[in-house]
């Protein structure tokens, strides 16, 4: 079963690391989206959240400062769910469904990260 843990850890960590890297690759588009969502200092917000995701993903991959990385991910996921994916404010039905899916994805991922934080016997 150890190999299942390693594969799951690699996929989970790479997901967040890639998402963080994507904040820099798609910087202009994400900055515009953050501006549309009325995020203060949208450019800085994209950089900070990109670093949070990258640090969290790399901490899962390397098991270095794992708790700090997981806390960063929980903070990012919950805040972005409520700030960026506030589906209850959408008037267009298609946009509402898309934002609700993203909201629920972030909340589910935050729950998974919290479960990882609850593991007391670290077998990384």
Tens-digit pLDDT profile for residues 96-113: 999 999 999 999 999 999
Q: What is the pTM of this model?
A: 0.89
Whether the predicted pLDDT of 120 surpasses 80? no
The pLDDT of residue 2: 86
The Cα–Cα gap between 2 and 31 comes to: 40
Task: Return the DSSP state at 119.
Answer: -
The pLDDT of residue 1: 63
Q: Which two tokens stand for residue 6?
A: 């390693």
The Cα–Cα gap between 64 and 42 comes to: 29
Whether the predicted pLDDT of 77 surpasses 70? yes
Tens-digit pLDDT profile for residues 16-59: 999 999 999 999 999 999 999 999 999 999 999 999 999 999 99
Tens-digit pLDDT profile for residues 57-75: 999 999 889 999 999 999 9
User: By the 8 A CB rule, do 59 and 12 touch?
Assistant: no
The pLDDT of residue 119: 84
User: By the 8 A CB rule, do 20 and 52 touch?
Assistant: yes
Angle (CA) 22-77-81 rounded to 5° is 100
For the beta carbon of residue 67, count every other beta carbon within 10 angstroms: 11
């Amino acid at each position: 079963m150890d190999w299942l843990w390693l594969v799951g850890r690699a996929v989970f960590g790479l997901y967040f690391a890639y998402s963080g890297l994507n904040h820099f690759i798609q910087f202009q588009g994400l900055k515009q989206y953050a501006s549309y969502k009325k995020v203060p200092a949208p450019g800085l917000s994209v950089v900070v959240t990109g670093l949070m995701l990258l640090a969290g993903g790399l901490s899962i991959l390397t098991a270095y400062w794992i708790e700090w990385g997981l806390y960063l991910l929980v903070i990012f996921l919950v805040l972005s769910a409520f700030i960026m994916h506030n589906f209850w404010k959408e008037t267009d039905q298609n946009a509402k469904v898309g934002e609700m899916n993203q909201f629920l994805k972030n909340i589910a991922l935050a729950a998974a990260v919290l479960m990882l934080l609850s593991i007391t016997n670290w077998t990384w």
